[in-house]
Structure 1
Amino acid sequence: MPAVLPFRLRPVSPGLRPLLHLGLMLTLSSSPLLIQASWAADAARRSYQVPAGPLSAALTRFAGLAGVNLSVDPQLVSGRNSSGLSGEYGVEEGFARLLQGSGLQLQPVGEQAYILTPAPQGSSLQLAPTSILGASGATDSDVFAGGQVARRGSQGLLGSKDFMETPFSMTTYTSEAVKNQQARTLGDLIASDPSVRATNPAGGRYEQFTIRGFSLFNSDVAYNGLYGVLPTYTIDMEMADRVDILKGPTQLINGISPRGSVGGGINVVPKRATDKPITEFTGSYASDSQVGGAVDIGRRFGEDNKFGVRLNAVKQSGDTKWDHQSVDREMAVLGLDFRGERLRLSTDIGHTERDTDAPQERVQIGANAKVPDADDVRHNYAQSWSKARTKDTFGTVNAEYDVNDSIMLYGGVGARKSNHDFLRHAVSITNDAGDFSVQPRDFTRDENVRTTTAGVRSWFHTGPVSHEVNLAASYFYMDFENGGARYAASPSNLYNPRPTPTPSRPTRFDPKVYTENRFSGVALSDTLGFFDDRLLLTLGARWQRVKVDDWSDGVKGDTAYDEEKVSPSGGLLFKATDQLSLYVNYMEGLSQGKIAPSTSINEDEIFPPFISRQVEAGAKYDAGAFALTAAVFRIKQPAYETNATTRVFGPNGKRQNDGVELSVFGEPLKGFRLLGGVMYIDSELKDTTNGTFDGNRAPATPKYNVNLGAEWDVPKVQGLTLTARGIYSSSQYLDQANSKEIDSWERFDLGARYAFKLDDKDITLRANVENVLDKRYWSSAGASDDSEPGLTLATPRTLLLSATLGF
């Protein structure tokens, strides 16, 4: 649940007050309208809502929202009030309006740093005209230089924070990055992050990822802080204003995720109407012949633009680069919001449908087969009659209420209803020739989700120590029913796929499996600020309860469980300078147990919850135009495997991932932007049965991931930008025995975009070529926890074209 978080005021040292006041008086006497003059450079405008009340609270709230440092002598603001503000302002313009009539004024003392001083006698500060029509989110002050990454991200229980004040590793991608990459799904967007990798084919039934080497399922992606609301199998990016990627266990922040992901978390932030009207149409094309269109419409109404409406809708269909494969997708999301002086409300209602013909599966490798050569796989090995049909309807309601200037209440509820229908077959290679058996299976899955969270956040001081206390409770419920049938098998081959008859007569019916999940929790945290908030200590714990029941053909299973645990977590951040932050954290959490995959003979068996732990240390350097981050981490959790001989899925030992992450983003040179980084992981298995695999590398975990994207604005042609990106992953093992391995791979993307005006209409043309060298390779060895083993085949060279017209 995103929340507004005040930036704490820093008192001025008493010994410095006379000198500081003298110096500022001399400066201001020569330029009494300094603030007004600086508005010309204060071009980054955004929407602010600051309620009327004590001046100190108003300044605190505004500074926090603007992400700037403000030093104040408490005696100056004592007993003074402010009328607040509502609308779009630049930073200094907003401060000036809050200070109107107070006899005080703002003085810049450094980059994003200000101090409050008495206004010179006889001076009269004239406010510039206030316009409620500001810039779009692309120039919002929350966006870091270059526009691809946001400064602030949502951190559930802890609210919304600037990345420099966060004792965790997190990257927040903007809607601008989504549009310029022409990202259609979440799987397209994560290609920018070295800590994240897709582990399922882009033309498959569903998307799945790893973060820091551990699996992350789509059902574990949050929507405005609520788990389980977004579609289970594929998430369309046209609905996203921001995408937060948090590395490491996130149970303290967001609670238990539906599938127990521990390597990190992803949160999709919905779009909101801005004070500037939005009317955009985007036409798109993707090779081989996918054509589509998307609309984005936003308006605000009423006094002070309190009411907002934002509609995003998309329709795209056509053939992909693979034989007899086509994708038809539809999405519509309506966002409504209200922003009052103390109350903020929002609701989002969405519906998505996706039909995929001949979706690809992971390629499983039998005990007697070697790893196939991906370069020899030139045709779609999925049968033309195979299909994936998904329908998801979802919605959320969120609220924030300022009880006073130091206490805020918040809450959110969400729900989803989904119907999924698949006709599929596994691809399990039995020999070096690439033979496999096509055994059709139809499979249905119906899901219902209800989730809620509520909390209170309070800011106060105890002597020189500041506090931000958060108390929250959450509840998650999901039921789902699986069913289906099997059909007679037919032979085929990976290199030369053979058409097989469309299945018509089932040879057997699968049992109907019904499962109910109930997760509940209560979390408490306190962020203590020392030495004028140069040192921030976050301490917290979450009580969690996991209750799972399942039935098979109406008979209750014996794998149900009801367990609970208190998980402590903490983080320490030190602002060594205004540009350098150092941090450490310890995160611990309870996760739902793994579920045996369809490739095992104990399919759908549910295992008990497990505990994951992370220790991390890092540094963040904000140079203004660009930022560098570094982190070292260790994550531990139980290891699972599907036994190669018995095909039984279950726990086998533990796995420990020790890693290093380096990242860069921003615009180090005018017109030249960078986005990317490198991750190194040493993933080791321990305490396996009889020590058989001790010391081996965990499956599906490359040692190195490297991503680096660059954008260059061509100096001689205004509006023209050239882009390039390289992606690399080192080799990976398929199994705990480390007997089978896929090679390292690299991918190169090129692109260009051209933005211009035509009859006062903004037009942007984009062209991207992914995998420009058309290399064939295995991009992943499957899920890192062996819940779905198998190889993921890379997508061939793909051309993406789009044209966005802004009215």
Structure 2
Amino acid sequence: MPAVFPSRLRPLLQLSFMLSLSASPLLIPVSWADDAAARRSYQVPAGSLSAALTRFAGLSGVNLSVDPALVSGRSSQGLSGEYGVEEGFARLLAGSGLQLQPVGEGAYILVPAAEGSSLQLAPTSILGANDETGGDVYAGGQVARRGSQGLLGSRDFMETPFSMTTYTSEAVKNQQARTLGDLIASDPSVRATNPAGGRYEQFTIRGFSLFNSDVAYNGLYGVLPTYTIDMEMADRVDILKGPTQLINGISPRGSVGGGINVVPKRATDKPITSLTANYASNNQVGGAVDVGRRFGEDNKFGIRFNGVKQSGDTEWDHQSVDRDMAVLGLDFRGERLRLSTDVGHTERDTDAPQERVQVGANARVPSANDVHRNYAQPWSKARTKDTFGTVNAEFDVNDSTMLYGGVGARKSNHDFLRHAVSVTNDAGDFSVQPRDFTRDENVRTATAGVRNWFHTGPVSHEINLAASYFYMDFENGGARYAAAPSNLYNPVETLTPIRPTRQDAEVYTENRFSGVALADTMGFFDDRLLVTLGARWQRVKVDDWSNDVKGDTAYDEEKVSPSGGVLFKATDKLSLYANYMEGLSQGKIAPSTSVNEDEIFPPFISRQVEVGAKYDAGSFGVTAAVFRIKQPAYETNAVTRVFGPNGKRQNVGVELNVFGEPLNGFRLLGGVMYIDSELKNTTNGTFDGNRAPATPKYNVNLGAEWDVPNVQGLTLTGRGIYSSSQYLDQSNDKEIEAWERFDVGARYAFKVDEKNITLRANVENVADKRYWSSAGASDDSEPGLTLATPRTYLLSATVDF
């Protein structure tokens, strides 16, 4: 122990380690220029402050002496990215009331910060404030720098060999996003494929279907509600493009275009009390409450509650939506152990929910401009109830090894009285055939893993080993009723169905997915080159029964899927990457519109190759990617009405995204995606070379925010969305036109009696255009046209106490 140490520190634990990086920001005067030559990349997970300092000092190669009493019970948000030594320590110590004191070359001690001192940070590429669960927020506050990557943990976007965007809770609030479908309007790679006023939400990523069942909750599949996910529960939303089986395992419905992960809210050290009143046209009113507190020694315990109640009529005649949500999150952050649990319940009642419009073989694509009334019957309804919960844990075995795991469960009851809309002629006639449909679901899911950091000579390693298990059983039943005529352009109200003409078979299905994954992220040249190699063994087991008779389409298959990624930091601002991802997906299920309804098809394999670049300008970021995804194509034969595989489809595309604040007070969020989607190896070559259905060549989303210079707190917003034309079928005979939508808005933030108040007003589809926004999804079992939502007004007032 150096003699310069205070005598009271001599008998205490000394934490010593090694590192090499650069830059500065501390309470002590340090030149950033002197530190710049030592900048390098670090990955320090969130956890106890003691463990974070130990890991960082060991990686950086400096000696640090710490009085355990100073750090006991304190936590750190960790860090990810390029830092100088003192800059990195400053990030880890932010808000702790502690600072470094240099005691020699490469040697420091930890001492309490002087009273009245303030942490001075020079400009850096890490901008924005830390949010306590999501790491640094990028300039502008709409996108987080770090996102959850399942097996690989939480990483900075500049160190991720994948295309990924993480939206913050601030973006959710300012967009007044009520559901996941509202939030994805900012992303050109994602499109909603079901009506906003429908029974459920569904999306495409890079042209491939993504169901709500495939949206993860804190890394666990199948926990969130099946049909609609309320955004008030989300602290942030990670959208990862491309097959995600390596990092997240097989998803319940086998999505291959990408994955979405919803991260729950946590209590922060600053108390939270937020009340919001909201209105959506035509007559939906409601409110939301968000309360968070930390308590106990060193704020170890946290509680966060979010509740929502909203009901009323929508812009469509005789349609109303009533939604309730309550989510409670509890967490504990100890020196080495971190625990959290989330329990939620949601209910949604929709009267006259819209369906996709199917187009018969002898009918042309209907005119969306001529659809002015709700074609859903007033007696149709959708009632959903979902109760879910998760428990997650992390434990630092030592400074280089962490154990983690999570379990989740959900129980859902769904009750629908619906009818399909299948237009049979150019006049828009269709037959209303009522169907009473119930679905009860039970889900149990779990994951466990170990993460270890070490060096072999000059090469750093991050080894991840994880196992996952997913179980879901569901039972479908119902009845059918006598048909009656109606028309898309002039809907005819029919009698409420009473006496069934046919009882549907009771279908019971069990899904069991299990897997084990191993990955190693190796860092070369001071982690400027990161190479991730991994593989996941997956087993898919599906059994089904119809009226207690076991079906003959059950299967039990397994496969090892390799994946890998390479990222090279060409400069401090530019990262280049490439990846190969492969995954096994659950087979498709024949839809109710086919003659082989509920038939289950075997699993299939999807493959992606992607190269890209990411540019971090500090105040704004730009990402670009070129990708190719291959998987089997499915269709319902227009003549036989048999659903099944027919050839393969290949999506080759280019993405360009921008986010951040390129000019002070001016923010951008959005981008463009181009896809060349081609069918191959179809039966008898009939459709070879055709464009895959429901896949526009171009998607463009671009939003902007401008802080009015002379009016403090006032921000004007605007957004444009465009999709080019889409084919409805593999033959490319039926096509919907390109469309565009424009949104405008404003918000005003001010203070009254120390209370922060924010008023928001948005108008979606300001031109009130009628158009088909989607032709479904080319790999979807139930294709059909999605009618755009009319002009919608959104108003809210939030008071933060």
TM-score, normalising length from structure 2?
0.90
Give the Cα separation in 2 of the matches to 1:538 and 1:235. Answer: 32
2:611 to 617, 623, 637: 617
The aligned residue for residue 337 of structure 1 is 331
1:11 to 11, 16, 20: 20
Structure 1 residue 171 corresponds to structure 2 residue 178? no
Structure 1 residue 493 corresponds to structure 2 residue 480? no
- Does the aligned pair in 1 maintain the 2:27–2:118 contact within 8 Å? no
The aligned residue for residue 52 of structure 1 is 50
Give the Cα separation in 1 of the matches to 2:285 and 2:523. Answer: 53
**1:32–1:210 CA distance, 2 compared to 1 (3 A):** closer
The aligned residue for residue 720 of structure 1 is 714
1:588 to 560, 582, 589: 582
1:687 to 665, 681, 690: 681
What amino acid does structure 2 have at the position aligned with 1:342? R
1:92 to 90, 93, 98: 90
Q: How much has 1:315 moved relative to structure 2?
A: 0.3
The aligned residue for residue 426 of structure 2 is 432
What amino acid does structure 2 have at the position aligned with 1:664? V
Query: Unaligned stretches of 5+ in structure 2?
Result: 1-16, 34-43, 78-86, 120-127
The aligned residue for residue 539 of structure 2 is 545
What amino acid does structure 2 have at the position aligned with 1:166? T
The aligned residue for residue 553 of structure 2 is 559
Map 1:79-228 to 2 at 5 A.
Answer: 84=71, 86=74, 92=90, 94-95=92-93, 103-104=102-103, 117-118=106-107, 127-128=114-115, 137=131, 142-228=136-222
Give the Cα separation in 2 of the matches to 1:544 and 1:50. Answer: 34
Map 1:767-806 to 2 at 5 A.
Answer: 767-806=761-800
Query: Unaligned stretches of 5+ in structure 1?
Result: 1-7, 13-19, 39-45, 61-70, 106-115
Give the Cα separation in 2 of the matches to 1:520 and 1:354. Answer: 31
Give the Cα separation in 2 of the matches to 1:140 and 1:551. Answer: 43
Q: How much has 1:139 moved relative to structure 2?
A: 12
Q: How much has 1:603 moved relative to structure 2?
A: 1.1
Per the alignment, in what secondary structure is the counterpart of residue 188 of structure 1? helix
Q: How much has 1:33 moved relative to structure 2?
A: 3.7
The aligned residue for residue 273 of structure 1 is 267
Map 1:664-743 to 2 at 5 A.
Answer: 664-743=658-737
Give the Cα separation in 1 of the matches to 2:660 and 2:19. Answer: 28
Give the Cα separation in 2 of the matches to 1:53 and 1:386. Answer: 57
- Does the aligned pair in 2 maintain the 1:58–1:84 contact within 8 Å? no
The aligned residue for residue 570 of structure 1 is 564
Per the alignment, in what secondary structure is the counterpart of residue 506 of structure 2? strand
- Does the aligned pair in 2 maintain the 1:47–1:87 contact within 8 Å? no
**1:646–1:81 CA distance, 2 compared to 1 (3 A):** farther
2:302 to 300, 305, 308: 308
The aligned residue for residue 445 of structure 1 is 439
Map 1:646-657 to 2 at 5 A.
Answer: 646-657=640-651
1:299 to 287, 290, 293: 293
What amino acid does structure 1 have at the position aligned with 2:190? V
The aligned residue for residue 635 of structure 1 is 629
Root-mean-square deviation (Å): 2.7
Give the Cα separation in 2 of the matches to 1:436 and 1:55. Answer: 67
Structure 1 residue 34 corresponds to structure 2 residue 29? yes
Q: How much has 1:768 moved relative to structure 2?
A: 0.1
The aligned residue for residue 508 of structure 2 is 514
- Does the aligned pair in 1 maintain the 2:701–2:719 contact within 8 Å? yes
1:755 to 741, 749, 758: 749
Q: How much has 1:34 moved relative to structure 2?
A: 1.0
2:315 to 313, 321, 326: 321
**1:204–1:32 CA distance, 2 compared to 1 (3 A):** closer
What amino acid does structure 1 have at the position aligned with 2:195? P
2:591 to 590, 597, 616: 597
Q: Deviations over 1:425-452 (max 9, x none)?
A: 0000000000000000000000000000
- Does the aligned pair in 1 maintain the 2:209–2:780 contact within 8 Å? no
**1:315–1:84 CA distance, 2 compared to 1 (3 A):** same
**1:268–1:140 CA distance, 2 compared to 1 (3 A):** closer
Per the alignment, in what secondary structure is the counterpart of residue 511 of structure 1? coil
What amino acid does structure 1 have at the position aligned with 2:172? V
Give the Cα separation in 2 of the matches to 1:332 and 1:797. Answer: 29
Q: How much has 1:49 moved relative to structure 2?
A: 4.0
The aligned residue for residue 36 of structure 2 is none
Give the Cα separation in 1 of the matches to 2:537 and 2:45. Answer: 36
- Does the aligned pair in 2 maintain the 1:52–1:81 contact within 8 Å? no
TM-score, normalising length from structure 1?
0.90
**1:621–1:596 CA distance, 2 compared to 1 (3 A):** same
Give the Cα separation in 2 of the matches to 1:56 and 1:275. Answer: 23
Q: How much has 1:786 moved relative to structure 2?
A: 3.7
- Does the aligned pair in 2 maintain the 1:136–1:274 contact within 8 Å? no
**1:377–1:53 CA distance, 2 compared to 1 (3 A):** closer
Q: How much has 1:413 moved relative to structure 2?
A: 0.1
Structure 1 residue 233 corresponds to structure 2 residue 227? yes
Q: How much has 1:119 moved relative to structure 2?
A: 7.0
**1:508–1:472 CA distance, 2 compared to 1 (3 A):** same
Q: How much has 1:59 moved relative to structure 2?
A: 3.7
The aligned residue for residue 404 of structure 2 is 410
**1:752–1:223 CA distance, 2 compared to 1 (3 A):** same
The aligned residue for residue 4 of structure 1 is none
Give the Cα separation in 2 of the matches to 1:771 and 1:212. Answer: 24
Paired positions, count: 754
**1:786–1:118 CA distance, 2 compared to 1 (3 A):** closer
Q: Deviations over 1:485-507 (max 9, x none)?
A: 00000000000000000000000
Structure 1 residue 375 corresponds to structure 2 residue 361? no
Report the identity percentage: 80
The aligned residue for residue 63 of structure 2 is 77
- Does the aligned pair in 1 maintain the 2:57–2:64 contact within 8 Å? no
Q: Deviations over 1:351-384 (max 9, x none)?
A: 0000000000000000010001100000000000
1:536 to 524, 530, 536: 530
Q: Deviations over 1:705-736 (max 9, x none)?
A: 00000000000000000000000000000000
- Does the aligned pair in 2 maintain the 1:284–1:803 contact within 8 Å? yes
Per the alignment, in what secondary structure is the counterpart of residue 232 of structure 2? helix
What amino acid does structure 2 have at the position aligned with 1:742? I
- Does the aligned pair in 1 maintain the 2:699–2:724 contact within 8 Å? yes
Per the alignment, in what secondary structure is the counterpart of residue 229 of structure 1? coil
The aligned residue for residue 620 of structure 2 is 626
Per the alignment, in what secondary structure is the counterpart of residue 505 of structure 2? strand
Per the alignment, in what secondary structure is the counterpart of residue 363 of structure 2? coil
Structure 1 residue 397 corresponds to structure 2 residue 383? no
The aligned residue for residue 351 of structure 1 is 345
**1:497–1:454 CA distance, 2 compared to 1 (3 A):** same
What amino acid does structure 1 have at the position aligned with 2:734? K
- Does the aligned pair in 2 maintain the 1:545–1:564 contact within 8 Å? yes
Give the Cα separation in 1 of the matches to 2:785 and 2:735. Answer: 10
Q: How much has 1:175 moved relative to structure 2?
A: 0.2
Give the Cα separation in 2 of the matches to 1:317 and 1:342. Answer: 44
Q: Deviations over 1:206-237 (max 9, x none)?
A: 00000000000000000000000000000000
Q: Deviations over 1:551-581 (max 9, x none)?
A: 0000000000000000000000000111100
Give the Cα separation in 1 of the matches to 2:139 and 2:111. Answer: 35
Q: How much has 1:88 moved relative to structure 2?
A: 7.5
Give the Cα separation in 2 of the matches to 1:643 and 1:248. Answer: 28
Per the alignment, in what secondary structure is the counterpart of residue 687 of structure 2? coil
Q: Deviations over 1:639-685 (max 9, x none)?
A: 00000011110000000000000000000000000000000000000
Q: How much has 1:601 moved relative to structure 2?
A: 1.2
